[in-house]
Amino acid sequence: MTGYCLSMTVYRSAGQPTFFLKRLACHNLNSQTSVNKPGSNVGLSHQLTTTPQMEFQELDNSGVSVSRITFGSWAAGGWMWGGTEQNDAVGAIRASYDLGVTSIDTAPVYGMGFSEEIVGEAIKGLPRDKVQILTKFGMRWDLAKGDFAMKTKDNDGHDLDVYKYAGRDSIIKECENSLRRLGTDYIDLYQQHWPDVTTPIDETMEAVARLIEQGKVRAAGVSNYSVAQMQEAEKTVKLASNQVPYSMVRRDIEKDVVPYCIENHKAILVYSPLQLGLLTGKVKPGQEFAEGDLRRGHRLFTPENVKRVNDVLNKIRPLAETKNASLGQLVLRWTLAQPGISVALVGARNPEQAVQNARAMDFQLTFEEIDFINKQLRELAPV
């Protein structure tokens, strides 16, 4: 007979408590190990005992704890990724949740509301207090006001102009729209998507503070903020986190943002840790991407750079194999082992990809293994 129990240990990293939840099989000493067969009841027991040992970290002292692998739903919204299939995206989020990825990062501008709607559909039936919703504000495609950001197309191919705008009334409206699309009455972490140079930071943060007072938001965060901007924001509201780009080939935040966040106990959520798929080792030199896919024509995806990156990945591939892991999983584990990095946001467009992402928590890296990877990365000069 096999029963299951949970154990929890806590340690502090960069001033933050990190929680390890482990699902342990508690076997009767007289029990006999069985071989699982497709369709047998034992299969469920096997699945439970091999659930990834997900790690959770509190964002500053906000009371919001998130899974260190967080589901990034940019690609799920289809925008700039050549479209998406809603059922696959919903399935990916639910598959992630089943493996301990309880946190989901989204934004209104991802698919012009479509990503948030997908998240809302995916969390129906899940206990709301066991899911952490991280969304954003400050990128308007339906209002020509603020700092012009880009020209783009929606999922139907219609031209759109997107503006960075974080005025007080706009934030209140965006929050109500997000709550409606997500089908919830509160947001766990509300992040300014990009700085808006046309609106004083204190006005923006006062609006977020108001939403916290009203119980519609639990914690305030920013995204793509510099240290100076974080310092300015903190004059008005306590920030829990900064969400920034970071990967093996994009490490500029190590110069200033990382030291500041470590010193001031701010969580760092990193997006694109797999660099849009480049660091999975699956991209081939000269590979073509569909119209509307942001990797099409991207400087990191030139044949020369893809070859250069793949050459380095091939040197660390044997280490991944010793861990029974993919290159992508090894890259995610390396990312989470870097000083100050709290959370890695990882996207998936179907359940299979979601499972592979969560499985990055199946193993640990030793100091010597991290050092070995770092030595190989020195061949990748910043591009």
Q: What DSSP assignment string belongs to 225-271?
A: --HHHHHHHTTTS-EEEEEEE-BTTB-GGGTTHHHHHHHTT-EEEEE
pLDDT band at 28 (very low <50, low <70, confident <90, very high): very low
pLDDT confidence of residue 173:
98
Share of the chain above pLDDT 90, in %: 72
Q: What is the CA radius of gyration of the chain?
A: 21
| Domain range annotation of the chain | 1-51, 58-279+340-365
Q: What span, in angstroms and rounded, lies between the C-alpha atoms of 125 and 363? A: 31
Q: Which residue has the higher pLDDT, 268 or 125?
A: 268
Does the structure show a pLDDT above 60 at 176? yes
Q: What angle is formed at CA 211 by the lines to CA 205 and CA 216, rounded to 5 degrees? A: 140
Measure the N-to-C terminal CA separation of the chain; round to a whole number of Å. Answer: 56
Q: pLDDT by residue (tens digit) across 191-245?
A: 999 999 999 999 999 999 999 999 999 999 999 999 999 999 999 999 999 999 9
Q: Which of 5-19, 175-189, 307-321 has the lowest mean pLDDT?
A: 5-19
Overall average pLDDT of the 327-348 stretch: 96
Overall average pLDDT of the 365-381 stretch: 93
Q: What span, in angstroms and rounded, lies between the C-alpha atoms of 250 and 56? A: 25
Q: Which residue has the higher pLDDT, 381 or 174?
A: 174
Query: Mean pLDDT for the chain?
Result: 85
CATH topology of domain 58-279+340-365: TIM Barrel (3.20.20)
Strand boundaries in 102-184, DSSP class E:
103-105, 132-137, 139-140, 147-153, 159-164
Overall average pLDDT of the 22-31 stretch: 32
pLDDT band at 7 (very low <50, low <70, confident <90, very high): very low
Strand boundaries in the chain, DSSP class E:
2-13, 16-27, 55-58, 65-67, 69-72, 103-105, 132-137, 139-140, 147-153, 159-164, 187-192, 217-223, 239-245, 267-271, 341-347
Alpha carbon 172 to its chain centroid, in Å, reads: 24
Nearest to 229 by CA among 271, 188, 261, 251: 261
Q: pLDDT by residue (tens digit) across 259-290?
A: 999 999 999 999 999 998 999 999 999 888 88
Question: Three-state SS for 274?
Answer: coil
Q: What angle is formed at CA 358 by the lines to CA 353 and CA 361, rounded to 5 degrees? A: 145
Q: pLDDT by residue (tens digit) across 55-112?
A: 999 999 999 999 999 999 977 654 444 445 677 889 999 999 999 999 999 999 998 9
pLDDT band at 24 (very low <50, low <70, confident <90, very high): very low
Question: Three-state SS for 347?
Answer: strand
Nearest to 174 by CA among 209, 128, 135, 146: 135
DSSP state of 27: E
Q: Which two tokens stand for residue 103?
A: 């946190």
Known catalytic residues are 110
